[in-house]
Chain A
Amino acid sequence: MNEHSIDDRITALAPLAEQLDQEWAESTLARIVADESPRQAPRRTRRRVAAIAVTGALTLTTGAAVAAAAGEGPFDTVKDVLLDFADQPNTSGNDVGTIHDPLLVAQVEQSNGVVFAVWIATTSSGDICSASTTSDATWDGGGSPAPGDLEYGCGEYVVDLYDPDPNTIIRLERPDQLGNFFEEGGGPVLYGISPYPDAVAVHVHGAGVDRTLPVREDSLGYGAALPGATDAASMELTFSDAAGRTLGSRTLFAPVD
């Protein structure tokens, strides 16, 4: 073993803040503030708000998996990374028990051809684990994403998309709290999980979007690329059952800053 861990050494090597050469600093500052180029107008951006803001990973165990049917490929990869996550030395914490097989929440092909996907897995202790393809993943939906294309965790803290205050953070305790509306290279994407067990469809209404998405039978997840929704500040989600009856609705507040 080392006398100093890599963390210790890297931290110890942090550069000392050297003051800028005074003469250069003064002349350069004067040149910069004298710059009369047109100031750029403020630009509203919609960034991908962390649905996964982990404050502490929890220990998982490798007990027999039960629950819903797992397919091949992505499901196995997702489960593997979650179990591997449990074995990492810096993820020891409260025991979440057995991880049940992951279920696909949504798989969305974006306009740039990259597929965004998110899975959820419950645990015997009642915690929620999730995994999703990363912002820089290049998975095209074929086969399985590489483990390096996934981010994952359990017992996470998420932005509450259904609270108009964008700073509201909640612990993920129910599957239907998981969801997001974000925009990156491939245009706006929405996904979530129905709070209504009988839901088969969700109607999404907001600026630039007015369409109905199917709700998955297994995970109750839904999701789609919404290329017209770049200006949406909120969206009304209305859930309905197989008979077309409205089960309820909720307003999702898009994380605009």
Chain B
Amino acid sequence: MTEHRDVREFTEVWQRDGPRVAAYARRHVVANDVSDVVAETFLHAWRRWADVPRPPLPWLIGAARKVVGNERRGEGRRRALEHRIVLLGDAARSAEDAGLLATDRMTALAALAALPEQQREALLLVAWDGLTPDQAAAVMGVRPGTFRVRTHRARSAAQQALDLSEPPARLARVSLSTAPKGGI
């Protein structure tokens, strides 16, 4: 009886959260490996289903993160910036779907890719995976305060990178209206 209930609930979670785990995996591994990450993550979940907290998504994302880590260690190499941009680009919405210019999309992805791994992960667990900051902190194994500081730094660094990448004309237009006469 319990087994049947487990299967039914697990199936619902698989259908509901599987795509979200896949979306998480898509930005960390090449497309061919995404399904492997999803399958392995849910296999881990099934083997300890009684212990998996509800709602299970934060736990699943945390498990996927470990699976991805193993995949990366298996590859035995650091990922280059260009490779990270490609992965993020594959995972992110298209410019059209996002309502952004293609150049704005690219500068945002480049700013994200240039962040240290931990900072990028902190931002995206909330912004892309839909976790609360506390859930994301648990996924990363840090305290909420640490997570808060990490996201703050990430946001500042990414915004700075974005500002530097903006076309000069746009900056000039703003500065004309705000800088005092005879300024810098």
Q: Does A136 contact B (CB under 8 A)?
A: yes
Using CB atoms, name the residue of chain A closest to B17.
A17
* Beta-carbon contact of A48 and B143 below 8 Å: yes
Interface centre among A2, A13, A16, A52 (most CB of B within 10 A): A13
* Beta-carbon contact of B18 and A25 below 8 Å: yes
* Beta-carbon contact of B146 and A135 below 8 Å: yes
Using CB atoms, name the residue of chain B closest to A137.
B146
Using CB atoms, name the residue of chain B closest to A9.
B108
Chain A count of residues within 8 A CB distance of the other chain:
51
Q: Does A72 contact B (CB under 8 A)?
A: no
Q: CB within 8 Å of A: which of B15-64?
A: 15, 18-20, 22-23, 26-27, 35, 38-39, 42-43, 46-51
- B residues near A156, Cβ cutoff 8 Å: 145
Q: CB within 8 Å of A: which of B141-177?
A: 141-146, 148-149, 152-153, 155, 158-159, 162-163, 166, 170-171, 174
Q: CB within 8 Å of B: which of A139-164?
A: 148, 150-153, 156
* Beta-carbon contact of A28 and B152 below 8 Å: no
- A residues near B80, Cβ cutoff 8 Å: none
* Beta-carbon contact of A19 and B19 below 8 Å: yes
Besides A6-B108, A9-B162, A50-B144, 11 new A-B residue pairs in contact (Cβ under 8 A), listed by A number: A10-B158, A12-B93, A12-B100, A14-B93, A20-B19, A32-B39, A39-B50, A40-B47, A52-B143, A134-B145, A153-B145
For B66-79 the 0/1 string (1 means CB < 8 A from A) is 00000000000000
Q: CB within 8 Å of A: which of B80-136?
A: 91-93, 97-100, 104-105, 107-109, 111-112, 123-124, 127-128, 130, 134
Task: Tell me whether chain B's interface is mostly helix, strand or loop, or mixed.
Answer: helix
Knowing A13-B92, A20-B38, A33-B10, the reply to whether A42 touches B108 (Cβ < 8 A) is: no
A32 to B146, CA, bound (A): 36
- B residues near A40, Cβ cutoff 8 Å: 47-48, 51
- B residues near A21, Cβ cutoff 8 Å: 35
* Beta-carbon contact of B143 and A134 below 8 Å: yes
Knowing A54-B148, A151-B148, the reply to whether A24 touches B48 (Cβ < 8 A) is: no
Q: Does A90 contact B (CB under 8 A)?
A: yes
- A residues near B99, Cβ cutoff 8 Å: 12
* Beta-carbon contact of A4 and B100 below 8 Å: yes
Which residue of B19, B39, B143, B171 contacts A151 across the interface (Cβ within 8 Å)? B143
A21 to B171, CA, bound (A): 45
Interface residues of B (CB under 8 A from A): 7, 10-11, 14-15, 18-20, 22-23, 26-27, 35, 38-39, 42-43, 46-51, 91-93, 97-100, 104-105, 107-109, 111-112, 123-124, 127-128, 130, 134, 137, 141-146, 148-149, 152-153, 155, 158-159, 162-163, 166, 170-171, 174
Query: In whole Å, how far is A42's beta carbon from the nearest beta carbon of chain B?
Result: 5
For A25-48 the 0/1 string (1 means CB < 8 A from B) is 100110111010101101100001
A13 to B97, CA, bound (A): 8
Knowing A12-B100, A25-B14, A32-B43, the reply to whether A18 touches B50 (Cβ < 8 A) is: no
